[in-house]
Amino acid sequence: MLVADYQGFLLEWYAKNGRDLPWRRTRNPWWILLSEIMLQQTQVARIEQRWPEFIERFPTPQTCAEAPVAELIGMWSGLGFNRRAVNLHRCAVDITTRFGGDVPSDLDDLLSLPGIGPYTARAIRVFAFELDDAVLDTNVARILARTQGRTLKRLEAQNLADDAVPAGDGWRWNQAVLDLGASICTSKRPLCEVCPIAVRCRWRGNDAVVDPAKGSAGVSTPQSTFEGSDRQGRGRLVAALKDGPVDETDTPTVMGWEGDVERAERVAATLVVDGLAVYLEGRYELP
């Protein structure tokens, strides 16, 4: 556990080395929610470029809820899984209809929103409302496993993260831990020699010992190969739909599986289920 004796070291390091990210300059709950959904499995540098476009076009949940889903899908190009754009729209609708247009701060209320999981809910509470929750993503989980010197179960990791938050300083603390994981305690080649809490770490990049972060709760594993995958076919069809409807008979070719009609039909159907497409009179189009 990152005990109180080491909180000062990490916060001092963050004061000198913390990343200056645009969403860290606001406490607007809707803008923070936007950034957190966009950051799910997408590189920070890409979100830095695109986040301003989204807050300008959708400054409030109401403006997002009133927009066509197809517009959000179109804007989402290059930001990873398109279903997150659909979830963002569903979130906006829920916030507008159920919460009067205000992003809730209650954890259970946030978890009830489409596409909002435990990490994102806590991130909104911490970074928008400055509450003393602890976020647990792959970076934080890696640090916890390494400092403990063993793999952790999810509840144990969350409890350890919660216990480490300095009272009244949750915003700064969580940013510091996230930055440490992103820049120092990295998955490959961690910079243990400059880590501000290395003296507390029970692993310290010891190549003779299996990295305890591997297989630990919250630590992500590499995705399956994209080339030739169902994900690639889905992405190709959504990209084509942004230019207009696609006839059902053309989907195998569009998805890169010419001759494999059964696979194209199966995967195209998942887009409909996920709200990324609609099927009308023998053709697919954006909702």
- 8 Å CB contact between 189 and 30: no
Residues of the chain with confidence (pLDDT) below 50: 1
pLDDT at 156 (0 to 100): 93
Nearest to 175 by CA among 6, 28, 11, 1: 11
- pTM for this entry: 0.85
Is 36 a residue of the active site?
Answer: yes
What is the distance in angstroms between the CA of the first residue and the CA of the last residue of the chain?
Answer: 47
CATH class of 230-285: mainly alpha
In the sheet with 278-280, reading across from the earlier edge strand, the strands are: 246-247, 283-285, 278-280
- What gap in Å lies between CA 231 and CA 255, rounded to an integer? 10
Q: Tokens in use for 158?
A: 């969350």
> For position 163, what pLDDT does the model report?
92
- Residue 242 CB-half CA count within 13 A: 14
Predicted pLDDT of residue 81: 84
Give the whole-angstrom CA distance, residue 183 versus residue 28.
26
Kindly name the residue from 36, 130, 258, 265 that is annotated as catalytic.
36
Domain boundaries, the chain: 28-129, 230-285
- Between the alpha carbon of residue 190 and those of residues 140, 195, 198, 217, the distances in Å are 14, 9, 11, 19
Whether 28-129 shares its CATH topology with 230-285 is answered no
For 92-104, b where at least 16 C-beta lie within 10 A, e where not — what string?
Answer: bbbbbeebeeebb
CATH number for 28-129 (one of 1.10.340.30, 1.10.287.3510, 3.40.50.1980, 3.40.630.40): it is: 1.10.340.30
